[in-house]
A and B are shown apart, each in its own frame.
Chain A
Amino acid sequence: MSSLLMMLLPIIIIQFILMIVALIDLVKIPQTNGPKWLWAIVIVCGNIIGSIIYFIFGRKQV
């Protein structure tokens, strides 16, 4: 099982990076489509898909 963990580790780390990038962006962006706290939940609980959905539909940028 430890080798499984070693192989999964990069996935977990990259996924974590994606989530952090999304969260930092969420804090910095002036406006989102819908309330920010909702997007925070989507990003944290929604795994990869949550972050993707945030980047595509959450950001409000002209």
Chain B
Amino acid sequence: MSQLLQVSALQKNYGQHEVIKNISFELKKGTATALIGTNGAGKTTILSMLAGLLKPTSGQIQHEGIVGDPRAAIGFLPQYPQFNTWLTASEFLIMAAQLNGLPAKVAKDESEKLLQFVGLKDAANKKIGTFSGGMKQRLGLAQAIIHKPKLLLLDEPVSALDPAGRLDMMHLMKSLQKEMTILYSTHILNDAEQMTDQLLFLKDGHLVEQGSLQDVKAKYEHHQIVVEFKEKVEAARFVESSTLSAEQQGAVVTLQIATMQQVIQELAKGDFAIRKVEQQSASLEEIFMKVANG
């Protein structure tokens, strides 16, 4: 896979305050990357710099194979997209397309197609002032992709939406993944887990961890083994007899530093009545907590 964007040693200061500190990463063509971090970690600042709305203090953003104004090849959905309320959805989209250089006729056709795609066909000729938050978000997505950009930047695309809206939006994003490279920020890790080739963990302006979902998961795998006994007393007996460090909670025992083999041997020795034994992998949520706190 060839790369689309190369970010090296990106830095943004506001006076003495360093908001983004020496960040480097790359985006491969046709991949989806999740930018993960708490509020104020610098996600919006990074996306704004990539979108050309903020100038980096230092560092480089290199777009591969793009000649001229890089903004032409980028689509951007801000976290709080705001529209002129007195325009209709269709008028706004046609304007957006034309500003991206599409001829009037094409702009009109594309806007109709996209309004259908994001489910706003019936609201095409309504004033945006009457739109709900979810409708604005979908119109925001439409304006970001109307010129078929190579790179799509989405700032917290789902966090303001209700569960149904979130599902809709994730669905739309997934269907775009084939056509464009996507970089989106989120603090909802369940969403990130559903659609990501690469993870970027951001903390206080630092990139503290990056890699593919599998790599990151493998790295933070904590080999936690959970044994569920039939009886509470059985669990207690096991903890008593075992040489492994174990934690008991009712009939469930959790072993942090142990292999499956060790556990099974120990279980066989005492002839315990068990319900099930399983190895649990870390969720992205737990990894994030670990990364953010360590």
Contacts and interface: CB of A to CB of B under 8 A. Distances in A.
A56 interface: no
Nearest to B82: A62
Nearest to A30: B129
A3 interface: no
Contacts of B82: 62
A19 B264 CA distance: 87
B83 interface: yes
A26 B85 CA distance: 16
A2 interface: no
B188 to A, nearest CB: 28
Instruction: Indicate the size class of the contact surface on chain A.
Output: under 10
Interface string B84-121: 11100000000000000000000000000000000000
Contacts of A62: 82-85, 129
Contacts of A30: 129
Nearest to B84: A62
Max chain A C-beta neighbours (<10 A), residue from B82, B84, B129: B129
Contacts of A61: 85-86
Contacts of B84: 62
Contacts of B85: 61-62
A61 B85 CA distance: 7
A25 to B, nearest CB: 12
Interface in A6-62: 30, 61-62
Nearest to B85: A62
Interface string B119-132: 00000000001000
B52 to A, nearest CB: 23
Nearest to A62: B85
A61 B83 CA distance: 11
A62 B127 CA distance: 12
Nearest to B130: A30
Nearest to A60: B85
Interface in B51-92: 82-86
Nearest to A29: B129
Contacts of B129: 30, 62
B51 to A, nearest CB: 21
A30 B82 CA distance: 17
A43 to B, nearest CB: 21
A41 B86 CA distance: 26
A62 B82 CA distance: 9
A61 B82 CA distance: 12
Interface in B199-228: none
A61 B127 CA distance: 12
A52 B258 CA distance: 78
Nearest to B128: A62
Contacts of B86: 61
B134 to A, nearest CB: 18
A33 B116 CA distance: 35
Given A30-B129, A61-B85, A62-B83, 5 more contacts: A61-B86, A62-B82, A62-B84, A62-B85, A62-B129
8 contacts: A30-B129, A61-B85, A61-B86, A62-B82, A62-B83, A62-B84, A62-B85, A62-B129
Interface of B: 82-86, 129
